[in-house]
A and B are shown apart, each in its own frame.
Chain A
Amino acid sequence: MTSLIIVSVLAVAVLYLGLFKYKTALLPVSVTGLLAAAAMAAMDWDLEKMYFSEMMLFDNYAVAFSILLILTTLLIFGLSRNYFEKISNNVAEYYALMLFALAGGVVMVSFHNLAMLFIGIEILSISLYVLAGIRRKDPASNEASLKYFLMGAFATGFLLFGTALIYGATGSFNLAAIASSGAFESALFRAGVLLMMVGLSFKVSVAPFHTWTPDVYEGSPGLIAMFMATVVKTAGFAAFLRLFLMAFAEASAFWAITVAILCILTLFAGNITAVFQDRFKRLLAWSSVSHAGYLLLAILAVGFSASSAVLVYTIAYSLASVAAFGIMILVSRARGNDHLDSFNGLARTNPFLAFTLTLAVCSLAGIPLTAGFFGKFYVFKVALAQGYTWLVVLAVINAMIGIYYYFKVIIAMYMKENANAVAIQLNPGFRLVLSIVVFLIFLFGIFPGLIANIL
């Protein structure tokens, strides 16, 4: 709770800094604030505190995911120096909006009441609608913003409708009350569960509600796309899992098959379409869709092992995405676009970047010794434990398709030449963040026990 307050107040403080033109103080203040927020969140470990008539429950699940969200934001901020300045004059506002979005994310991982879930999702979404459209003179950015907004509003309608039906069936917004209401057979309840599933599926880009993802990622500035792929996706899945775990777990026999089918649809839609992409950002967007599919597998396994699996997976995915999007930003800035050909010969001009990107896509593809391997490993394990062997087989096939398109960029970097390529300059922020990410991907790839058993 303290961390939520810090993040919200920090956002307002950043706005004031912008008002008084302390531009140089923006980043240090944000970073300090976020560190404080992460520390405060860590203080709540094992306390299981309920806040404000059971509106929020800061259990270990909430603490772990809050810290993950805050630290990911911190990494993204580390890459942001001189980034917004090139896009707009209102730098402070963008930091503030990202912090507001983060506050929404923290609410989404700690809610204990459907009203809080809704408000959290909306805070996050509204910030993103604006952030997607930062490049005001770029039609693609405007289009991304508008598309995201219109479709997001549409999906929110379903989410709200579902919430209302659940209230009608159980008489409460409180997760514990819903879980103990015993109304699982009622048609109102079932329709409510399905509609909420639709609304949340949209937010985490599960097929067939994923269609906005590639367009919005492509139109948004790279750093915002990175934010969407990491913080937003993590918050969305944490909320999805928390809702289904804490409120709907008893009715799992009813919704599991739907989740399984969505999972297959998402895996195939994401992976197969990604094969044909020749722009790296779009490829990452489609891969982000496919990762939603793998994560759905964990939701099928109702139980606390699912929380651990999702935590490991989202950590691995966030780390790899920060690196992949970060290098995509550098390359497209230096070479004009993010076409896969722009990565040709990167291994010769920038061995460090090439290595980092290789590690990141290996982690995304789930190659052993990277964190991504254990992400997939735990997710598959919990799904197998629930008896979804056929689903895991399909997921493994998809993971193999994934390797095909992920390796396209490695091939471009190491095996194709680019005669007139010059080395890309890195600022210290990039160097630091990428080094941290490389270290963590290896660390969690070799010692998964550090994160796999904390929940």
Chain B
Amino acid sequence: MLTQSLFYFLSFLAIFSALAVIIAKNPVHSVLYLILTFFAITGHYILLNAQFLAIVNMIVYAGAIMVLFLFVLMLLNLNAETEPQKPAYIKIAGVVSGGLLLLVLVGALKTVDVSGAGGTTATDMGLVENLGMVLFNEFLLPFELASVLLLTAMVGAVLIGRREA
């Protein structure tokens, strides 16, 4: 009972703050709402008994990345006035297309029989121990290749960020 009401609360919070991210005029507010969204999702992870993911989500996304975002925004000194004004029809087109996309996705998935979905039903999957076992056994190769991915991104970031001589 408690889980269920918590789920609804967190879901409401996540959707509301996600909407607020795009509606808010001030970029700093947007980022703050985004942090709130991440918190709500972290809550969901905990409800799903995925503690490791919850912690990582909290520390990496909400903590590190979002704080970085905030710094950048504040350094750039963006605010509502410098934001370019988009014509109304573009906004309407955006809303309509976004809404339609939601609609078709819901339409496509509404017949899904959730209980019959083939996925794993183990509830302790998200614990550090189990996750580690999977990551270092079955998914060892993707895990290692992710290092190539990160290295690539790092080289790219340095390349773009470095001052040209």
Q: Are B156 and A168 in contact (CB under 8 A)?
A: no
Q: How distant is the Cα of A119 from the Cα of B152 in the complex, in angstroms? A: 12
| Inter-subunit contact A170/B152 (CB<8 Å) | no
Cα separation A101 to B156 with both chains bound (whole Å): 12
A171 to B159 CA separation, bound complex (whole angstroms): 40
Q: Which residues of A contact B105 (CB under 8 A)?
A: 191
Q: Considering only CB atoms, which chain A residue lies closest to B157 in the complex? A: A130
- Judge whether A122 and B149 touch: CB under 8 Å: yes
Q: Say how far A97's CB is from chain B's closest CB, in angstroms.
A: 6
Q: Which of A167-212 contact B (CB under 8 A)?
A: 167-172, 181, 183, 186-188, 190-191, 194
> Which of B105, B148, B153 counts the most chain A CB atoms within 10 A?
B148
Closest-by-CB residue of A relative to B146 is A119
A90 within 8 A of B: yes
Cross-chain contact A100 with B152 (CB below 8 angstroms): yes
Query: Is B111 among interface residues, defined by CB-CB distance under 8 A?
Result: yes
Given the known A-B contacts A129-B156, A130-B159, are A171 and B120 also in contact in the complex, defined by CB atoms under 8 Å? yes
Show 25 residue pairs from A and B whose CB-CB distance is below 8 angstroms, ordered by the A residue. A8-B148, A12-B151, A55-B139, A55-B142, A90-B159, A93-B159, A104-B152, A107-B145, A119-B145, A126-B152, A129-B156, A136-B160, A137-B164, A165-B109, A169-B117, A171-B117, A183-B118, A186-B113, A187-B109, A187-B111, A188-B109, A188-B112, A188-B117, A191-B105, A191-B109
Give me 9 other A-B pairs in contact (C-beta within 8 A), A96-B155, A113-B142 excluded. A12-B151, A15-B155, A51-B141, A90-B159, A100-B151, A123-B152, A137-B164, A170-B118, A187-B109
Which residues of A line the B interface, CB within 8 A?
8, 12, 15, 51-53, 55-56, 88-90, 93, 96-97, 100-101, 103-104, 107, 113, 115-116, 119-120, 122-123, 126-127, 129-130, 133, 136-137, 165, 167-172, 181, 183, 186-188, 190-191, 194
B contacts, CB < 8 Å to A:
105, 108-113, 116-120, 137-142, 145-146, 148-149, 151-153, 155-156, 158-160, 162, 164-165
Please provide the 6 A-B residue pairs with the shortest distance between their CB atoms, ordered closest to farther.
A130-B156, A171-B118, A52-B141, A55-B141, A100-B152, A191-B108
